[in-house]
Amino acid sequence: MKLYTSHRAPNPRRVRWVMAEKGIEDVELVEIDIMVGEHKTPDYRSRVGVPHVPALELDDGTTISESIAIGRYLEALYPEPNLFGVDAREQAVIEMWTRRCEFYLANPLMLTVRHSHPALTALEAAQVPQVAEHNRVGAEKFMKTLDRRLADHEFLAEDRFTIADIVGVVGLDFARLIKYRPPEELAHLARWLETCRVRPGAKAGA
């Protein structure tokens, strides 16, 4: 299998982190330079179908894009440690927190960065400062929700580390490109971030 990835983008890091947690070492990493548009070439699009990273190319030629879909596929092949849920209840709760983190935290922070970092003008037809500010405010509103959740939970979805934590941390870490830090009063969020960032998988996925 081949993973088309980019160290410049947050979503491929989710997959690399999943691989690190599971000790997956038999997937070839193919670096795609999104800053020069390698993800938009006819060859890449013919393989993947869309100009996005990451993408996992299977041995039979099937290509899977979207980080969560790739993560689910890898979990089916490498079920331990479990990151997506061991039964119906866990799977639903983990999915719920994963989607919340993606919709209300990771995506808004990605737009905040893409519409404010000078080097990312190559990825946007036109940067709009108001878009960056609007999304930052929305992300910080959800951070308060996470802080309340983490007041009595070590991790977001279950009593162990899951894909929901990966999505949340990767989203927040991407915002460090613009030197962003969550509000200092969110102490529970800060504790959780540190707990996740010191995991060996966090470094391998970076």
**pLDDT digit string, tens, across residues 133-185:** 999 999 999 999 999 999 999 999 999 999 999 999 999 999 998 999 999 99
Confirm if 73 and 64 have CB atoms less than 8 A apart: yes
Q: Could you give the 3-state DSSP secondary structure of residue 65?
A: strand
pLDDT of 196 above 80: yes
- Residue 66 gets the label, from left (phi > 0), alpha (psi -120 to 50) or beta, of left
**pLDDT digit string, tens, across residues 89-124:** 999 999 999 999 999 999 999 999 988 877 666 666
pLDDT of 127 above 80: no
d(CA 29, CA 32): 9
d(CA 96, CA 205): 23
Two tokens at 53?
């990273």
Write a three-state SS string for 10-27. HHHHHHHHHHHHHCCCCC
Domains of the chain in sequence order? 2-77 (3.40.30.10), 88-199 (1.20.1050.10)
Q: With a threshold of 0.75, does the pTM exceed it?
A: yes
DSSP 105: I
The contacts of residue 69 (CB under 8 Å, 6+ apart) are: none
d(CA 99, CA 67): 12
Q: How confident is the model at residue 35 (pLDDT cuts 50, 70, 90)?
A: confident
d(CA 38, CA 45): 10
DSSP 176: G
